[in-house]
Amino acid sequence: MTTYDLYLISPHLALAALAMVVIVVDLLTRRTGLLVGVSFVGLAAPAALSAMQVIELTTSGSDALSADGSVILYTLSIDRFSLFFNFLILAATGLVVLVSNDYVRRIQRLQGEFFGLMLLSATGMMLLVAANELITIYIALELITLPLAALAAFMPNGRSSEAGMKFLIVGAISSALMLYGMALIYGFTGSTRLDEIAVALAGAATSGVIPFGSLAVLLAVVLLLVGFGFKMSAAPFQMWVPDVYEGAPTPIVAFLSVASKAAAFALVMRVFYIGFDSLAGDWWVLLAILAALSMTIGNLVAISQHNINRLFGYSTIAHAGYLLVGVAAVATSGGAASFGPSSVVFYLAAYTAANLTAFFAMVCIGHRIESDEIADYGGMIRRAPFLAITLGLALIALIGVPPTSIFIAKIYIFAAAINTGESLMTWLVIIGVVNSVVSAYYYLRVIKVMFLQPAVSPERVRGSWPVNLALGVATLSMLWLGVAPGTLLGAAERAVAALAGGG
């Protein structure tokens, strides 16, 4: 391994080292504020190293770093696409670290482990978005899943233990099926690298009768989608979501709902737009079906929820469906050459801002009232005006009301789908619009409880300054992306250019 190889993975090494430093600091002190400060400030190192790589790419005018004989570049693609998601993951991680300030005071003995596991999972996410080889993908996915399973079971109660166990078991099953799909792909193509798989699949004899030209490839793609569907929280692989969202610590749910989802969709785009690009005429139909199921199941079941965390569990399933519309929008324009991928990247950033805003307000409110029931949010506008207003804005954004960020993102995604010219995609857009209207019912129900119902208690609800800072940053980001989306849209288009060029 050369010095340049170490430079290529320096952001990942810096984040993993930060996790170790936090655990060591925890051995020396029990001050919660110090652990939060070290975890948050330490994220500047991987962010700065990622920025250096962006500057190098800008100077060279290329979309990906390259070096002859690089060991790292055989398994990872350090390009604009992966670096965009590096910043998204680091930003989400930093804000969740801040908002965990009040929450971790309940777990005095395990605060170092809490932040250490979160940072290690984020390291896996950064590796995943850059992985261009199947074995690396599998290892990165496990590095994400195992710390998250431990974090889901972190609280000393039965619901948290159940959440962690379900996440671990369902994750293990999906990983096993995905690994079998990878083995089939290797057996059929003779390679584990995505670009080499693409060449092998393009050159293989195809049949007009069997989708993907081979039963082996068809089975492999289905098995891969099972594993990816679990990571994306997409139906019908969503059975773990509501229980984990209800039982896991709320800051971890916030982290899981945005950072893990962003990494999973980045993986899906890289695998399908590069490795299976020649078979886009087959796999986009599968993704379109998953999109319709996810949107419909997520929104319809969310209507009957009374626990706000479970409601957001089904909400994230629905938003996975909207995102899959953009991923599937390749029917005629040829994979990453269309603006479907950039619409997904923009949607992920907009969803991250809106969902973090909602969860941060919920963390503060739930911590103070010690309840996640929607009915207990009654009169919150009088008990906590700032929290109620920010949560209300986030809920409106998640519906997709103009001029919020997710409204822009949905327009972008639906336009990409219609632009394919496929009738199935047009129907998928209609399903998406109808589901957006349905989602307004359960989001507005929460707003009604907070603003119109009498207060359950006269006690004021406030958060500490780190929580308010994280909430303020998330809220401003959400509003900024809705009012001035041009900068992020441009960054998203430049990021997916790396996929269009094969990484």
- Over the stretch 352-377, which tens digit does the pLDDT of each residue have? 999 999 999 998 888 888 888 899 89
What is the rounded CA–CA span in Å between residue 174 and residue 90? 26
What is the rounded CA–CA span in Å between residue 329 and residue 45? 36
Mean pLDDT score, 223-246: 89
| CB-based contact 496:346 (threshold 8 Å) | no
Q: Tell me if residue 152 falls in helix, strand or coil.
A: helix
pLDDT band (50, 70, 90) for residue 59: confident
What is the rounded CA–CA span in Å between residue 103 and residue 405? 28
- Over the stretch 104-144, which tens digit does the pLDDT of each residue have? 877 777 888 899 999 999 999 999 999 999 999 999 999 99
Alpha-carbon dihedral sign for residues 103, 106, 111, 114: negative
Q: What is the CB-side half-sphere exposure of residue 54 using CA atoms within 13 A?
A: 18
| Average pLDDT along the chain | 87
Mean pLDDT score, 380-409: 90
What is the rounded CA–CA span in Å between residue 273 and residue 497? 11
- Over the stretch 480-499, which tens digit does the pLDDT of each residue have? 988 888 889 888 888 888 87
Strand partners, 373: 307
Give me the pLDDT at residue 503, please: 43
pTM as predicted:
0.93
The residues, any chain, with a CB within 8 Å of residue 154's CB and separated by 6 or more, are: 107, 110, 114, 160, 164, 248, 249, 252
- Over the stretch 336-345, which tens digit does the pLDDT of each residue have? 445 678 889 9
The domain segmentation of the chain, as residue ranges, is 3-500
What is the rounded CA–CA span in Å between residue 384 and residue 389? 9
Give me the pLDDT at residue 370, please: 81
Give me the pLDDT at residue 205, please: 54
Q: How many CB atoms lie within 10 A of CB 78?
A: 28
What is the rounded CA–CA span in Å between residue 436 and residue 413? 13
| CB-based contact 422:281 (threshold 8 Å) | no
Alpha-carbon dihedral sign for residues 390, 394, 395, 396: positive
Give me the pLDDT at residue 317, please: 94
| CB-based contact 145:155 (threshold 8 Å) | no
Give me the pLDDT at residue 338, please: 58
Q: Tell me if residue 211 falls in helix, strand or coil.
A: helix
Q: What is the CB-side half-sphere exposure of residue 447 using CA atoms within 13 A?
A: 18
N-term to C-term CA, the chain = 21
What is the rounded CA–CA span in Å between residue 48 and residue 409? 28
Q: What is the CB-side half-sphere exposure of residue 183 using CA atoms within 13 A?
A: 6
Give me the pLDDT at residue 461, please: 80
Alpha-carbon dihedral sign for residues 391, 395, 396, 401: positive
* Identity of residue 98: L
- Over the stretch 306-333, which tens digit does the pLDDT of each residue have? 999 999 999 999 999 999 998 888 754 5
Cα-Cα-Cα-Cα torsion 320, 321, 324, 330, nearest 10 degrees, comes to -160
